[in-house]
Chains A and B, each alone.
Chain A
Amino acid sequence: MARDVILATDGLTMEFRGFRAVNGVALQVERGTIHALIGPNGAGKTTCFNLLTKFLIPTAGTIRYKDRDITGLKAADVARLGLVRSFQISAVFPHLTVMENVRIALQRRRRGDSFDFWRAEKVLRALNGEALALVEAVGLTEFADVLAVELSYGRKRALEIATTLALDPEMLLLDEPMAGMGHEDVERTAQLIRRVSKDRTILMVEHNLSVVASLSDRITVLARGQVLAEGDYATVSKDPRVVEAYIGAGHA
């Protein structure tokens, strides 16, 4: 059966002054799945992630998205193709209100570029309704007029998700969506991810293995910059090399 691959890498390599953080990674993400990238600390997950979103330029290898070679594209242009990333530390615009945070993403999607410095902000009001609906979807309605800097950590992450969803991306790359979250927030965010994964492809880096187990369709395990194992959770978790890599790296 031919797999419907949306994102594929071949021989992806990143070298930092002789140290290979990512070494010849071949990754294939199937359309419509939740794919997790796991591995012990220093395995190269985040580097891999930054390569895929063009925040780093690979030393070697290619990246294909929807059968198009995107290796040479810039970060902003990859985002415009519908491949949108989140950040490990909550990425909001602290001095914009919650509504404005979401609206800035809608502004890009609906208007394209905004170089019109002579026009009043009023023209953006047409987007307010849609922005508020997204704010409501993540349960932040009562904070719509609050500056993002004043939100709690969990709410910042919710805002970040709402902002990302405003772009209606075809594929989402989530960098440790549960990092620093309490138990309750983890549960809520997991549900949110499951909900938004409808009609979308998600590739996430995540440390929380129970989250990975319950959410992902397929898992790729990285260790020392290379793919160690791949498969569903049951297969991967039984793989002796995976167990060894985790325990060997000090993760009991």
Chain B
Amino acid sequence: MADTAAIDAAPIAAALPAARDDKALHRLIFVGIAVLLIVAPLVLYPVYLMKVLCFALFALAFNLLLGYGGLLSFGHAAYFGMASYLCAYTAKQLGFTPELAILAGTATAALLGLIFGSLAIRRQGIYFSMITLALAQMAFFFSLQAKFTGGEDGIQAVPRGSLFGVISLADDRAMYAVVCVIFMAGMLLIYRIIHSPFGQVLKAIRDNEPRAISLGYRASQYKLAVFVLSATLAGLAGSTKAIVFQLASLTDVHWSMSGEVVLMTLVGGMGTVFGPIVGALVIVTMETYLAQFGAWVTIIQGCVFVLCVLLFREGVVGLIARVIRKPL
């Protein structure tokens, strides 16, 4: 927990004047990402890319809560993992088509977010984080004990099925296209949330909660709303991952998954629009391509994290944003 101090002290990276040409720049980056997504499978392994995209969406959802709501959840694995279980279960046992299974998983995360969120937002700062962690640990214990999750084995051999019962996703290229669409939709939705009347109130509450209250905003309702949105989108990411890898396991509800998403967000740059994507790319790439080093991956990750906190607390994208003096 020593790193919360670093999080509090880190300047919010989007601290540059917003203007209309910033939006034009963001639009350009969105187009760039779309082009990259189309070109990437020509050079890179689609399964690796899909993993990056699932985690990037997870990190984006987490950043919505941390970077724009100012709330540090240490239990986001619960929404990611439980959604993944429900998605896998409905696809395998109930024969749901993939889009319905993903929807079921996402809805589960939303409901869980509503319950956990309404308990956690009653407390502030470190206590909020601890409550989210404790609740997530309960979700982990439930996953370990419940019958339908398959305990240590998880739910394996989840059928990818056919999208709308028509388009088979067995082929990685078809699956990749679906993941790209989900990722882009999720990313654009989060961007819209940040730049909505709701997002404006959210930023005000993050900046100065007592003042926002004194203007007549019921801050806790806004916090709960962003908590549920974040949990829902984390669930969308977890569900998608379950279909892609045809697996839901304890790894996805484990507290270390909650830690990993914090890591991704901070490495990329919290409170930046694009930071979490870069963070997820860095972390997933390290895990994938450094896998030969075995347990050393964790140590390398730890070093990267320490270096990040020491050298560029705003994260990779936050640093770039500061250099070019534009919010990213």
Residues of chain A touching chain B, judged by Cβ–Cβ distance below 8 Å, are: 53, 55, 74-77, 79-80, 84-87, 91-97, 100, 103-105, 107-109, 111, 113-121, 123-124, 145-147, 149, 163, 167
- Select one of A76, A115, A167 contacting B198, CB under 8 A: A115
**In this assembly, does B193 line the interface, its C-beta being within 8 Å of a C-beta of chain A?**
yes
A123 to chain B: which residues have CB within 8 Å?
197
* Given contact pairs A76-B217, A79-B214, A92-B208, A119 touches B196 in the complex (Cβ within 8 A): yes
- Select one of B192, B197, B203, B222 contacting A93, CB under 8 A: B203
**In this assembly, does B1 line the interface, its C-beta being within 8 Å of a C-beta of chain A?**
no
Report the separation of the CA atoms of residues A87 and B222 in the bound assembly, to the nearest whole angstrom. Answer: 22
- Contact assessment for B15 and A107 in the assembled complex, using a CB-CB cutoff below 8 Å: no
Residues facing A in B161-212 (CB within 8 A) are 192-193, 195-201, 203-204, 206-208, 210-212
- Contact assessment for B196 and A94 in the assembled complex, using a CB-CB cutoff below 8 Å: no
Taking the closest CB of chain A, its distance from the CB of B26, in whole angstroms, is 12
A95 to chain B: which residues have CB within 8 Å?
12, 14-15, 203, 206-207
**In this assembly, does B218 line the interface, its C-beta being within 8 Å of a C-beta of chain A?**
yes
Residues of chain B touching chain A, judged by Cβ–Cβ distance below 8 Å, are: 12, 14-19, 192-193, 195-201, 203-204, 206-208, 210-219, 221-222, 225, 229
- Contact assessment for B214 and A85 in the assembled complex, using a CB-CB cutoff below 8 Å: yes
Report the separation of the CA atoms of residues A145 and B219 in the bound assembly, to the nearest whole angstrom. Answer: 25
A145 to chain B: which residues have CB within 8 Å?
17, 19
- Select one of A53, A76, A114, A146 contacting B200, CB under 8 A: A114
18 contacts between A and B (CB under 8 A): A53-B214, A77-B218, A91-B208, A92-B211, A93-B203, A93-B212, A95-B14, A96-B200, A100-B200, A108-B217, A114-B196, A115-B221, A115-B225, A116-B197, A117-B193, A119-B196, A121-B197, A146-B17
* Given contact pairs A76-B216, A79-B216, A119 touches B197 in the complex (Cβ within 8 A): yes
Taking the closest CB of chain A, its distance from the CB of B246, in whole angstroms, is 33
A146 to chain B: which residues have CB within 8 Å?
17
Taking the closest CB of chain B, its distance from the CB of A155, in whole angstroms, is 16
B216 to chain A: which residues have CB within 8 Å?
76-77, 79-80, 84, 108-109, 167
B193 to chain A: which residues have CB within 8 Å?
117-118
- Contact assessment for B196 and A116 in the assembled complex, using a CB-CB cutoff below 8 Å: yes
Give the interface centre of A92, A96, A104, A146 by most chain B CB atoms within 10 Å: A104
Sorted from nearest, which 5 A-B pairs have the closest CB atoms? A79-B216, A114-B197, A117-B198, A93-B207, A91-B211
- Contact assessment for A97 and B14 in the assembled complex, using a CB-CB cutoff below 8 Å: no
